[in-house]
Structure 1
Amino acid sequence: MTPAAGKPFHPKRPHRKSRAGCRNCKTRKVKCDEGRPTCRTCTARNESCVYMAVSRRASPPSPPSPPSPASAASSPGKEPASTLVPIVARHAAAATVPQQPLFIPSGHSELDMRLLWFYSTVTYTSFSTGALQQRSVDVVLKVDVVQHAFANPFLMNCILGLSAQHINHLGLENMGISKSHEIYYRAMAFETYRKAVAAAEPATFPAMLATALLLCGLATHVFRGDEAVPLSIMDWMMLWKGIGAIIEVTKFPRLVKSGIARLIFRPEVDFDASSRCLPSYLLFMLSSIKEGDPEFPLVPRYYKALQYLGSLYRELRNGFSQMLLLRIVTFVTYLDKPFIENARERRPRALIILAHYLVFAKFRVKTCWWMEGMSDHEIPNISRFLGPEWAHLLRVPMAALLLDDDKDIARLLLDDPSWDVPTKMEDEPLTLDDERTLAIRAARGEDVTAGVDAYQDGKIGIC
């Protein structure tokens, strides 16, 4: 009897070739399951999975992506119909404008990827300082933080919410991000972060640290618009202290290994030199407290906060430098928890110190977009709360509200009408980074070809 005799005939099962497989599988000539971001074969072999670009004409139509955990079952409201935002390739030889996102990972929506693209192109720079060529922290913000975000939904929610807030702050209507999107992602960020803090899983500590930093920018909506709340700076300071709390429970080598540790750099403070730069009336505010006064035991605490404030005065004498920006942004992290508690108790001298810090936060040249409007909102609130009795110590903060020019604000702070920007800084470019500028222009639907040419010709400054 032949082998075929007595056996039913089975036609050969059709085989679908893996035309869009990863590079490793194609090299080995094995079938790739095309799993994203890593196929099963590369996962088993612990190899980096890289997919080659496939033309749209040759690719089969892909099914719509399911909503992501970060954006829940459905995004708020109906997602606006908008074209994908173009981005200028940074080192492209020609002025090509590929579309973003290039692909949508499983579990995420097109809206998620659009926001993630904007973060990795524009928003991340809000937490980085220094010349672009020297900013090693950018790799952490653009790569390490994003990698942790895909594994930790609370960090992804924070990134998407911050990006949505930034887009609306810039008025980029072409991005198709509504206010409801911003509110939704922000609410999800805080809710999922609270759950992560309650769980306190050691594996999530690096992502929690990155989230704690980004939340300080995300939470500034309370200083602007319809969502503004008086004296919100007290709660905002507690968010900053949350960074220290996470560091305390995390073994530092774990943070170093994760790549996140570079996000928590703070410049040193020369206390003696900073003390000499303080206005005399602020020092007198403390020296006038006599023994027996209820606040006399708090004098050392207030003086330490003034020394940190003095580092801002000292740095300002050197002009509007990147170091000044770094000191302004990180100022709250230096304040100890007892001082913050005194401020939350609405103690006058603590509020006066904060009011003077807010004058520095008013600078427009170097401060972050998420700090804009904070000073104009909170200085009047502090003044109204303290009343006429303390008005003489709020003269400078109140006068700063009437000024818009950075040079005039600096002269007010330094009490020097003749002060000017140091000559060595006159030629410092104060424009946005070339990549960020082009991305914003592209998001607005502007022609970016001229911008690419200017970048290639070296005409665009990097701040």
Structure 2
Amino acid sequence: MASMGPREARQARSQRRSRFGCRNCKLRKLKCDEGKPQCKRCCSFGVLCNFMSNIPDLQPIAADTGHALAAREKPALRPPITNAVWTSDASTSFQLNTKCQDFITRYLGRSLTTPNDPNMRQVNSKLLELAFTYPFLMHASLAVALTYDRHLNSSIDGHRTLEECYHWSQSTVLFNKRLREPIVAKDKDPIWGTAAALAILTFSSPNASTPEQSWPLKYSTSSLDWVRMIQGKMSLWHTINPLRRDSLFRVMAATYADILAPLPEDGIEGIPRAVAAVCNLSESSTSKSSPYLEAAHAVSQVLDLPDSEVTTGPVNFFIRSIHGTYEELLRDRDPVALVLLYLWYRKAGRSIWWIELRARVECPAICLYLRRYHQGNGAVQAFLPGGEFDDRRGC
């Protein structure tokens, strides 16, 4: 330094790295300002500051939303690690930031799927306790809470947030990993709770934000993925047995009885005359002779119910009817199959928020599709807004 002038010497001293700076700055050979919880160098570079040993070197902010949220808040002293809130199991851990903890207080201690159901509130409270030892359940629960928050606070074109996508993705990865291992008794409830949450997330997250972008107007092979996701959840039924004696889901026995009730295999008793007519059903119709019979019976279960009584049981009764030939007709955008789905959306979407998130784009999309491509089918048009059998609430 003796060969340098005063100005060069000052610049050389200013480039010395801090003894107590973060590891990222040391790796990048930069002077750290030692700001906490996020130094200015890391903030501008887009990585998580790693004064703490549990944060990887040069971790991009977008790759760890849980820590990124804390990094974007107003700088403050990081609380001692003993005061942190964690969820962890034998192989995975996740530190909950302030927003996650707030969502637990506001949302996860109550029933999100059906807010007025006391049994679901009891189930959700017990699942929340389990979430602190099963990270895949915690991530799924936070993703559902974030989706519910978006439902409450966004317009019709509200897009999924980065936080939603992060927790949904993390839950899916960890859950799939867990399902590759033997399922022991203590893991059955968190596995069933996570499967239910992932089914809700898939259903409530259409790939379009406007009717014109939505199925059935825009065809995609992934348009009915929610059907397969719910079927996948139900495939775990016999392995998990949510009605076993020690299951926390046992209090939902009446709801499951509604969901699993046998679908009528013949006749049209209970089906409104107009619905039977559009499906070309008669007293002699059977589930083998008509692909619409089971779906028509299922949707008829909710059509005359007051909105306050449209709960998980009756709603899932229709979802169960989507299989076999009827599912194929939906994928082919058959007009009668679409009318039955439209009637279900129109009713269930007024009562259950996670159905409403999809219904508010797909319900009007079905209307537009049927008007555009099946204008000459008077029986179908009669169910659309302004038609003879419109309930005056529209799409």
Matches within 5 A, 1:24-63: none
Structure 1 counterpart of 2:189, one-letter code? P
Unaligned runs of 5+ in 2: 1-50, 76-82, 88-92, 155-159, 217-221
Gaps of 5+ in 1: 1-62, 84-101, 173-177, 414-463
Alignment coverage as a number of residue pairs: 302
For the Cα contact (< 8 Å) 1:241–1:333, is it kept in 2?
Answer: no
Q: For the Cα contact (< 8 Å) 1:149–1:155, is it kept in 2?
A: yes
What does 1:417-428 correspond to in 2, within 5 Å?
none
The structural deviation recorded for 1:158 is 0.6
Contact map agreement 1:223 1:378 (CA 8 A) in 2:
no
Deviates more, 1:205-214 or 1:260-269: 260-269
Q: Report if aligned partners of 1:224, 1:373 keep a CA contact under 8 Å in 2.
A: no
Structure 2: distance between partners of 1:390 and 1:263: 45
- TM-score calculated relative to the size of structure 2: 0.61
Matched, 1:359 2:346: yes
Distance 2:313 2:320 in 1: 10
Distance 1:400 1:119 in 2: 38
Q: 2:316 aligns with which of 316, 330, 341?
A: 330
Residues 142 and 297 (structure 1), Cα distance of their counterparts in 2 relative to 1, 3 Å cut: closer
**Inter-CA distance 183–399: structure 2 relative to 1 (3 Å threshold):** same
Offset, 1:186: 1.9
Asked if residue 171 in structure 1 is aligned to residue 153 in structure 2, the reply is: yes
Quick one: structure 1 residues 380 and 208, their matched pair in 2 at CA, closer, same or farther if it must change by over 3 Å? Answer: same
CA RMSD of aligned residues (A): 4.3
Mapped contact 1:379–1:397 kept (Cα < 8 A) = no
Equivalent position to 2:378, from 367, 392, 398:
392
Please state if 1:257 is matched with 2:231. Answer: no
Deviation string, structure 1 residues 119-178 (Cα, Å, up to 9, x no partner): 3245x3333534xxxx233221112x1233233322111111111222233339xxxxx9
Q: Once the two structures are superposed, what CA deviation does each residue of 1:384-438 show, in whole Å capped at 9, x if it has no partner?
A: 555226743443553079xxxx9843xx89xxxxxxxxxxxxxxxxxxxxxxxxx
Residue deviations 1:369-395 (CA, integer Å, cap 9, x gap): 222242331134335555226743443
Deviation (angstroms), 1:307? 1.0
Tell whether the 8 Å contact from 2:143 to 2:164 is kept in structure 1 after alignment. yes
Q: Distance in 1 between matches of 2:291 and 2:379?
A: 19
Q: 1:389 to 1:205 in 2, by over 3 A?
A: farther
Residues 390, 350 of structure 1: CA spacing in aligned structure 2 closer, same or farther, 3 A cutoff? farther
1:350 pairs with one of 311, 320, 337:
337
Deviations 1:222-280 (A, max 9, x none): 16638975256622222222232110333456x441313445624646969x9444332
| CA shift digits 1:63-83 (9 cap, x unpaired) | 979579xx9973274533279
1:188 to 160, 170, 190: 170
Q: What is the match of residue 230 of structure 1?
A: 215
**Helix, strand or coil for the counterpart of 1:242?**
helix
Kindly indicate whether the alpha-carbon contact (under 8 Å) linking 1:343 and 1:351 is maintained by their aligned counterparts in 2. yes
1:206 to 166, 170, 189: 189
Q: Which residue of structure 2 lines up, in the alignment, with residue 41 of structure 1?
A: none
Give secondary structure in 1 for the equivalent of 2:65: coil
1:376 lines up with 2:360 in the alignment: yes
Distance in 2 between residues matched to 1:82 and 1:373, nearest whole Å? 32
Contact 1:277 1:313 in 2 (8 A): no
CA change 1:370–1:320 in 2 (3 A) is closer
Partners of 1:213 and 1:115 in 2: CA distance: 19
User: Quick one: structure 1 residues 126 and 298, their matched pair in 2 at CA, closer, same or farther if it must change by over 3 Å?
Assistant: same
Corresponding residue for 2:42? none
State the match for 1:304 in structure 2: 294
CA distance in 1, matches of 2:300, 2:123: 30
The one-letter amino acid of 1:230's match is W
- Cross-structure match for 2:28: none
TM (norm. structure 1) is 0.53
Q: How does 1:288-303 map to 2 (within 5 A)?
A: 299-303=289-293
1:350-387, Cα deviation, whole Å (9 max, x unpaired): 22211221121342xxx122222423311343355552
